Amino acid sequence: MKLIPDPVPLVDPARRLVLFTNGKCGGTTLKSWFFANLDLPGFEANPLRFAMTFGPKFVYSHFNSGRKLTPRAVQATDPEQVRRMTIFYRRAFCAPAVASGRTAGFFKFAVVRNPEDRAVSAFLDKFCGDNRDTSWVRTAAAAAHPDSDPSFMDFLAYIDCVDEAACDLHWRRQSYVFDAHVLDAFVRLEHLAEDFRAIADRVGDAHFGKLELKLKRNLSAIDDAAAPPVGDMTGLRASEIAAWRAARGYFPPKDALVTDVSRAQIRRAYARDYALLPYKD
């Protein structure tokens, strides 16, 4: 029995590819792209080919449970529908495929993100944004600060010492999910077009344009390069940054949180990512 990563990678048996995803790396949009690229509705038109490609057990599960989820997941109009389709597909096909060793020889790649950008995005989006009152964020906030109201530096110190198995995937190191696997390629979120086109012959490019557009739109909500400089905000509590955002309608720019001191802490917390991912400088 093979070790199954968490989260389970997405497996396309027709193209013989495995996509590893991580929190805060364009996950929902990438999953929507994956299901559009997979084209399960197209397989439905040829049941024999469907069964030969995916196996009769999955085909049965798809027609009984997954079929009604597929169109909404492909359109990605509702992230919850993408989440439900992903849960179904991972349980019904991906986990068994990985565990059985079926993916041996498949093209394996991961979409990754600059650790600095990802750490800033995770802190702002989750601790200072709309998710700050969810139970899973509150649990981390309480571990990071006695008043459950951490600064960015508190957050980085927490990441540096928390047990990885208990660390939420939105800020756990990216390489955790593929430690036991040898990857064939990385797609950097910051260079999506360049890196995706370099592997287009292996993964397909029919739906790439929509993927690129959606990611640019989604990332702009956090990575606001147009925001004016505001100085060092690494010591401000999450509640103070949330109030700052509420007053202005946008998050502070990345430079407010990435200073020489915090950059050193990010590199310490994500040392293995810097060793394995294409982000050396």
Phi/psi at 10 (5° precision): -95, 130
Q: How far lies 173's CA from each of 78, 113, 119, 213, in Å?
A: 27, 11, 10, 26
Tell me the whole-structure pTM to 2 decimals.
0.89
pLDDT in tens, 89-107: 999 999 999 999 999 999 9
- pLDDT tens digits, residue range 122-141? 999 999 999 999 999 999 99
Taking the mean position of all CA atoms in its chain, how far away is CA 184?
A: 18
- The closest of 121, 132, 146 to 223, measured between CA atoms, is 121
Residue 214, pLDDT > 90, answer no
